[in-house]
Amino acid sequence: MSSSVPRRSPLGAVQFAESPSHDGELFERPFLTHVNLRLDPGDTEARSAIHRVLGVQLPLTPNTTTTGDDLTAIWLGPDEWLLLAEHGQSGTLIADLQAALAGHVASVVDISAGQTVIRLSGPSTLDVLARGCALDLHSSVFPPGACAQTLLARAQALLLAVDDTPTIDIIVRRSFTPYVAAWLEDSARDFGLRIPPAAAS
């Protein structure tokens, strides 16, 4: 039996004051599909099968990503990746991956409910993040397509460089999301940025 109760994003219960943005954008990208994939990178048959499903190669270089039309594969470790896709794709994606990996030593786990993405974009992006992140995120060393696991205001986060605006996607665990969002709002206050209330789905 389907439920009529609307689903809420990790920020759905948190209300933020809206104000005009004069120096960029700060908002949640809720309900995306997050799939954790683990397999032996030396298993070329498994990687080829994954390529046929995803339409992109798994990145093998540390701290890089590969992006297709509607999916990004993010390197997390030598044998671990995060697959980030649009809302509503987890069931089909996981079924296709499991079928492709039958007979191989691999793990495919839907973690969509456990984390979310907050996007920060605009000329103030690096100034805001520098207040709580020790990494150098300048495009000369962190170009579009780069990723890094780090601490942001002492919370674990995965940062993904989207473009050279610059735009950074901040992927955080659900339990840390309200804290990270509040910290981002406070840090971005000088630039007129607020996170609008998240909608239900």
Per residue in 137-171, pLDDT (tens digit) is 999 999 999 999 999 999 999 999 999 999 999 99
Say which residue the tokens 């109760």 belong to. Answer: 5
Structural domain ending residue among the three candidates 70, 95, 112: 112
Structural domain ending residue among the three candidates 83, 112, 141: 112
User: Over pLDDT 70: what percentage of the chain?
Assistant: 88
**Closest listed residue to residue 27, CA positions, set 117, 148, 122:** 117
Same domain, 151 and 91: no
Residues 9-41 have pLDDT tens digits of: 777 655 454 444 456 899 999 999 999 999 999
CATH number of the structural domain spanning residue 43: 3.30.70.1520
Question: Under DSSP, is residue 81 helix (H, G, I), strand (E, B) or coil?
Answer: strand
Residue 144 resides in a domain? yes
Same domain, 65 and 102: yes
Residue 119 resides in a domain? yes
Number of domains making up the chain: 2
The domain containing residue 86 runs over which residues? 33-112
Residues 67-122 have pLDDT tens digits of: 998 899 999 999 999 999 998 888 999 999 999 999 999 999 999 999 999 999 99
Residue 185 resides in a domain? yes
Q: Are 169 and 29 within 8 A, CB to CB?
A: yes
Residue 198's pLDDT band, with cuts at 50, 70 and 90, is low
What pLDDT, on a 0 to 100 scale, did the predictor assign at position 157? 98
Torsion of CA 65, 68, 71, 77, to 10 degrees: -20
What pLDDT, on a 0 to 100 scale, did the predictor assign at position 96? 97
Structural domain ending residue among the three candidates 79, 112, 145: 112
Q: What are residue 137's DSSP bridge partners? A: none
Region for residue 28 given its phi and psi (left: phi exceeds 0; alpha: psi -120 to 50; beta: otherwise): beta
What pLDDT, on a 0 to 100 scale, did the predictor assign at position 6? 63
Residue 37 resides in a domain? yes
CATH number of the structural domain spanning residue 145: 3.30.1360.120
